[in-house]
Structure 1
Amino acid sequence: MSQKRSHEDAEHSAGPQSQAARITKIRACAECKRHKIKCEPVAGEQKCSKCLRSNLECIPHNPNQRFHEEDALWKANATAELSQLRSAVQVLLRHNQLPDLASVTDKTPTGTIISPLNASENGAHTTMIVPPMDMTRENSVESDLGEESELVPAPMRSLYDLTRIRNLRSHIGRKTDTNSMEDDFIGQGIISESEAETLFTSFMENMYQLLWAGMLVPHYTLHAVRLHSTLLTAAILAISAMHTPGRGEALQKCYNVFVTLTYSACLARVDSLDDIRALCLAAFYLSNLSYKLSGLAVRNAIEMNIHQAFHKLMRGHADQRDNVRLWYAVYVCERQFSIAYGRPPLLHEDVATKNIERFLDSPHTTPGDIRLCAQVTLFKILTEAYMTFGSDPEQPLTEADFQQLRMFNFAIEQWRLLWQPRSADSAPIGSYPSKGVVLYYHFARFQLNSLALRALPPPSAASSETLSYDRREAANIAISAATSTLTLIFEEPDLRRAMTAVPIFTHTMVAFCATFLLKMAKTWGGVAQAASPEWATEPLGLGLNFNISQVLSLSRRSANFLAKVADSLNDKHLTKHIARGIKELLKHFDTPETPASTTAPPHSRPDTGETRPVETLNGIGGSGPAIDFTDGYNMYDLIGSYGFGFDETFLGQAASSDFDLWPS
């Protein structure tokens, strides 16, 4: 035991030296290890005998070397594959006019995931980037019960005060969204800067003044617009390309950028007033997106508390005047397209729309303010009519409704008397402001009074329902107003010149009036023929002052005029589709047996002695076969509901499929 203990003590005491000896033990070099031979050191030399004989570098063998070599090889292969994949992605992004990969990566929030679900735009699929659900709290989580806090705040404000969750916070302060021009779609080369400058200049020269003297574009240079809002930049350039022939490629690129940015903004917090201006501007001109964009503009404007700007302005905050203007523009935009589609309005009358005159009673009032406020007051009248009569195409007006209809007619007459003198001429657009008031006056009267014909039973030669005096009076007003709408555009040179750049609502006025008159000619003309062989000398035999020859002449002029307008616009502009639609309707009146150019001898009207040619229409007033007007008769198809039937009429309007989001 003592020997063993001494042995253990000696081993224990010599342990460290033995460990050191083992660590410094000479091992075979790499060359000898490879040949599996004994590595013999040579005194006074740093190489072994084998390496000296072969004149090789004598490197001590490292058992980890193999792993280092394999790791280096794997990394090199992975780097090459990643570089190849990055190049492929860059090619795909450029092909689809999407932002550069680096900019997307830099701006992707921490925790962002790529959704496995695909978002579809007219059959084109794209993967959506979904930000994480953020329930983080503000740095200061203490509730504010001080004297400055509101006693009765909005419910969601109270919830925010308790939880301090950032996502619940409404926009109290607003900041200007500054954009880096190197990161926008022009800086990335999706569209060249020179082409962007050309399109922006064209917009400023031809379209800027028509929307209330540039109310929606407060910046005068492309540089300024790019700094404030990429969305507004894309909207302006897309609209300009839409109104320039031969710019189809630029239109598609700018449209793709605008739609992509709008998708991203749908569920994001909007901090820029210019982004709201962009949504309104695009709604006025991009027909396939108008209704969606107008609704999005309303929600974003309310979220930024623009609806409270009028109160602040009246309390002396002069900097709120532009915000009130924007609120009025959002109101008009939303009203135009809710009425156009015959749908309930999203906005209700508020203190701002009720106090137009208080807003205008200021030394800072501009001509654009007057034109904008004129639109607001007109659409207030039309909205009240919508709420009174509804939009059910199967609900006819009762005799008691016509008294209310007269009140609306009177309100529109008063509207014209008030606003036409106040809408002063402008050097860039001539008499367009005042003549535009007249145009909207005729169209509003037509839209209101056409309701007198809603849901009437089919007219027939055997049993035609006699119209009451009130209904006939309103129907005659509608016919006269539709005729006046078309005639005014032809006779006023400033309106004709403006038609290449006006919002699509004005083009739809022409389409709606022409459609109404042509379908009246087709439907009620058959009653006139059956009622009397001398139908041409009578107002359709039903007390309707309807001149079929005049209707056909106006409709042909409308189609030819709009076709000429379309020649100076991009092929995807709505005007080309309207002109084609009117010509398609005119084909119903032209047959080989009775061409439209054929006219009968002039007849004298007994009440005025006026003579006019009687046009031969598919046998109406001639010897050819008559049309069966009762087949498939639908009064909704004749006049729509309260709205235009904007997405349901014959127009074949520029469908969203015309704008392939992701072109192949």
Structure 2
Amino acid sequence: MILESDSVWKNQVNRKIRNLESAIEKLAGNASMPDLLDAEDDEEEDDPSEPQDALPTSNLSPQIDKHKPHNFEIIMDDHGPAAIPGSIVSPVIMPGVEPNRAEDIITKGVLTVEQAQTYLAAYQDRLDHFLYRIIGDRRELHQIRAGSPLLLAAICAVGALHVASSDFEKCYQVFVSTAAAQTFSRRNTMDDVRGLCVGAFWLSSISWTCIGIAVRISTEIGLHRSITKALEGDRNHYFRTRLYYLVWVCDHHFSVAYGRPPMTRQDDAIRASARFLESEHVVEDDARLVSQVQFWVVSRDIYESFGVDVEKPLDQQMIEPLRRYSIRLDNIRADWTERFSYNAFVGNYPRKGVGLHYHFAKLYLYSFAFRGIGKPGWKTPDIALDIDELANSALLSATAILRAVVSDPEIQSYLNGLPTYFDVMIAFATVFVLKVSTKYATSVRVDTSEIRALVGELVEVLKHVTADMHPRHLLVSVARGVETLLGRCCTSEVGPVPSNAHVTMQPTFENGLYDTSMGWDGLDQFSMGDFDFLSSQDAYNFQPDLQYQSLPPM
């Protein structure tokens, strides 16, 4: 009787603990205080005799399978003997709560239906069209809710971010906790992948984590294997293939551009992207998506050919392959620029976006001319003219990016909506021109005063654009950082630059003030944590050695 009473008491306490934890979780979500969820009693020890099912589980999503050993079964599918070896072993998934029946951001009480509808409208009427309509034709809130709590949380978080709502933080926390629950779930859906892509494209601090999970899930549910049936006209496999293309592009946004090897490969689906556009259900958004796939195929090839060693100068054997990559980028731009027309939701972005991506890729490619600058073997006599040509081309692409932002009001209107990759590349182009115009002006013919004026105009544009943005938006940090960099760059013991002065530089490669990685490694300060434009490297402590030569008035 004593033992039985003790067992009943333990069960009652466990139920109360679960109820208490559930209440704390809701309070933490509503108050944006995730630290409440981490509070634990360090001295508490698990009772090895207590059944696992009796342990508190309120912090676990119902989408996560119980932590029990899986049973496996051997299956014989409809394929021939040449089937994939691992396909014949399948875990037995016990019945449980289906993903679309789990609590979402509304049933948890974090948002009202009206608030969620507001953020969905902000997302689907504009943001979704920058990324080729991830959510497709679904217009109603109940359609999104029926798909995936993760997708709804992602849309609400991204929508709240772009309307600068105070709800962003709590929406963000719900998305993070829901995405974490998906990590070990075996009940994932295409809408879960869509939600992770939405988070990766726009929530800069967790982009790499989100796309990592999305790649794993998309391959686990076989999206990359749907291309054959998509080409045959199967509508379901058409949607699966286009989602895989979105995952592939997103993966490359946050891998190649950061010096990381992509997790996705150039498989049958990627090689068949041109034929995909000839399939039955294709729309213009698919053409835009495939144009991105083609740009990133080239950028990936560049990454694999030249690697990430920014201290290794180019040699004669690298020049011709580099030129061939440049020609491939030229061809992609020529093929796609005139193909796109005005879009009712995002204006001329389909066409102008091709130009921006072209210059992003060109800057990445041509910046290799500066690899190993100042070290033995850089700009050897046999390739000196080639290096000069490539270096000047890099500067042209970088300034083209900045001029597009400064001079085109329509592009400025896109900035509070474009994926974070654009913010990173605008920042990279700015840092690049400032480095070249201060430290390495003797290596490239550059009008230093013109570059500074251009960056000054960019600062004013970014300050205007970001004035009403949510402070967590990456472009807010970029705007603040660019202004600080320009101020440091223009500070000199010799005073301000006269209006009729021509500035020349005396390079001092040994002083180590700069990060000479003109490749993508120069973006490491944009890590997947909090984006502090200036904090991680003292490569931005500009101390240029300037000499002013006064010129006669024109």
* TM-score normalised by structure 1 residue count: 0.69
Please identify the structure whose Cα radius of gyration is greater.
1
Conserved? CA contact 1:396–1:454, under 8 Å: yes
Conserved? CA contact 2:440–2:507, under 8 Å: no
Does residue 505 of the first structure (1) align with residue 421 of the second (2)?
Answer: yes
Q: Give the whole-Å Cα distance in 1 for the aligned partners of 2:30 and 2:266.
A: 41
Write the deviation string for residues 251-274 of structure 1: whole angstroms up to 9, x where unpaired.
Answer: 111111111111111111143101
Matches within 5 A, 1:53-68: none
Percent of aligned pairs sharing the same letter: 27
- State the AA in 1 paired with 2:230: L
Matches within 5 A, 1:108-507: 111-112=52-53, 131-136=66-71, 144=76, 148=78, 150-160=80-90, 165-166=91-92, 177-179=99-101, 183-212=103-132, 214-245=133-164, 247-248=165-166, 250-362=167-279, 364-457=281-374, 468-507=384-423
Q: Give the whole-Å Cα distance in 2 for the aligned partners of 1:289 and 1:405.
A: 33
1:387 CA displacement: 0.9
Q: Give the whole-Å Cα distance in 2 for the aligned partners of 1:614 and 1:394.
A: 31
Q: Give the whole-Å Cα distance in 1 for the aligned partners of 2:296 and 2:524.
A: 18
1:137 CA displacement: 5.2
Conserved? CA contact 1:573–1:654, under 8 Å: no
Cα 1:651–1:202, aligned 2, differ >3 Å: closer, same or farther?
Answer: closer
1:113 CA displacement: 7.2
Q: Give the whole-Å Cα distance in 2 for the aligned partners of 1:427 and 1:80.
A: 59
Cα 1:211–1:595, aligned 2, differ >3 Å: closer, same or farther?
Answer: farther
Which of the residues 24, 34, 39 maps onto 1:92? Answer: 24
1:593 CA displacement: 5.2
Matched with 1:4 is none
Cα 1:87–1:590, aligned 2, differ >3 Å: closer, same or farther?
Answer: same
Conserved? CA contact 1:280–1:333, under 8 Å: yes
Classify the secondary structure of the residue corresponding to 1:425. Answer: coil
Conserved? CA contact 1:114–1:129, under 8 Å: no
Classify the secondary structure of the residue corresponding to 1:348. Answer: coil
Classify the secondary structure of the residue corresponding to 2:100. Answer: coil
Q: Give the whole-Å Cα distance in 2 for the aligned partners of 1:324 and 1:129.
A: 26
Moved more, 333-342 or 580-589: 580-589
Q: Give the whole-Å Cα distance in 1 for the aligned partners of 2:337 and 2:492.
A: 47
Conserved? CA contact 1:342–1:643, under 8 Å: no
Cα 1:465–1:630, aligned 2, differ >3 Å: closer, same or farther?
Answer: farther
1:643 CA displacement: 7.0
Which of the residues 645, 648, 655 maps onto 2:524? Answer: 645
1:209 CA displacement: 1.6
Q: Give the whole-Å Cα distance in 2 for the aligned partners of 1:363 and 1:568.
A: 43
Cα 1:158–1:194, aligned 2, differ >3 Å: closer, same or farther?
Answer: closer
Classify the secondary structure of the residue corresponding to 1:486. Answer: helix
Cα 1:85–1:289, aligned 2, differ >3 Å: closer, same or farther?
Answer: closer
Alpha-carbon RMSD across the aligned residues, in angstroms, is 3.7
- State the AA in 2 paired with 1:444: A
Conserved? CA contact 1:215–1:325, under 8 Å: no
Conserved? CA contact 2:105–2:152, under 8 Å: no
- State the AA in 2 paired with 1:583: E
1:640 CA displacement: 3.9
Matched with 1:29 is none
Which of the residues 565, 569, 573 maps onto 2:473? Answer: 573
1:158 CA displacement: 3.1
- State the AA in 2 paired with 1:317: D
Q: Give the whole-Å Cα distance in 1 for the aligned partners of 2:211 and 2:15.
A: 43
Classify the secondary structure of the residue corresponding to 1:289. Answer: helix
- State the AA in 1 paired with 2:408: E
Cα 1:643–1:229, aligned 2, differ >3 Å: closer, same or farther?
Answer: farther
Conserved? CA contact 1:113–1:131, under 8 Å: no
Does residue 631 of the first structure (1) align with residue 511 of the second (2)?
Answer: yes
Write the deviation string for residues 57-114 of structure 1: whole angstroms up to 9, x where unpaired.
Answer: xxxxxxxxxx9xxx99x99999998897677545422321189xxxxxxxxxx95575
Classify the secondary structure of the residue corresponding to 2:416. Answer: coil
- State the AA in 2 paired with 1:520: V
Moved more, 185-194 or 478-487: 185-194
* TM-score normalised by structure 2 residue count: 0.82
Q: Give the whole-Å Cα distance in 2 for the aligned partners of 1:314 and 1:129.
A: 35
Q: Give the whole-Å Cα distance in 2 for the aligned partners of 1:380 and 1:627.
A: 36
Cα 1:454–1:628, aligned 2, differ >3 Å: closer, same or farther?
Answer: closer
Q: Give the whole-Å Cα distance in 2 for the aligned partners of 1:444 and 1:636.
A: 19
Conserved? CA contact 2:341–2:351, under 8 Å: yes
- State the AA in 2 paired with 1:323: R
Classify the secondary structure of the residue corresponding to 2:155. Answer: helix
Q: Give the whole-Å Cα distance in 1 for the aligned partners of 2:326 and 2:11.
A: 75
Cα 1:115–1:514, aligned 2, differ >3 Å: closer, same or farther?
Answer: farther
- State the AA in 2 paired with 1:96: A
Write the deviation string for residues 38-61 of structure 1: whole angstroms up to 9, x where unpaired.
Answer: xxxxxxxxxxxxxxxxxxxxxxxx
Conserved? CA contact 1:367–1:424, under 8 Å: no
Gaps of 5+ in 1: 1-66, 100-109, 120-125, 170-174, 526-539, 602-612, 656-664
Conserved? CA contact 2:161–2:470, under 8 Å: yes
Q: Give the whole-Å Cα distance in 2 for the aligned partners of 1:300 and 1:87.
A: 32
Cα 1:76–1:130, aligned 2, differ >3 Å: closer, same or farther?
Answer: closer
Gaps of 5+ in 2: 32-50, 536-554
Classify the secondary structure of the residue corresponding to 1:207. Answer: helix
Matched with 1:515 is 431
Cα 1:356–1:559, aligned 2, differ >3 Å: closer, same or farther?
Answer: same
1:549 CA displacement: 1.4
1:495 CA displacement: 1.3
Q: Give the whole-Å Cα distance in 2 for the aligned partners of 1:82 and 1:509.
A: 52
Cα 1:150–1:78, aligned 2, differ >3 Å: closer, same or farther?
Answer: closer
- State the AA in 1 paired with 2:85: P
Matched with 2:498 is 599
1:235 CA displacement: 0.3
- State the AA in 2 paired with 1:156: G
Matched with 2:458 is 558
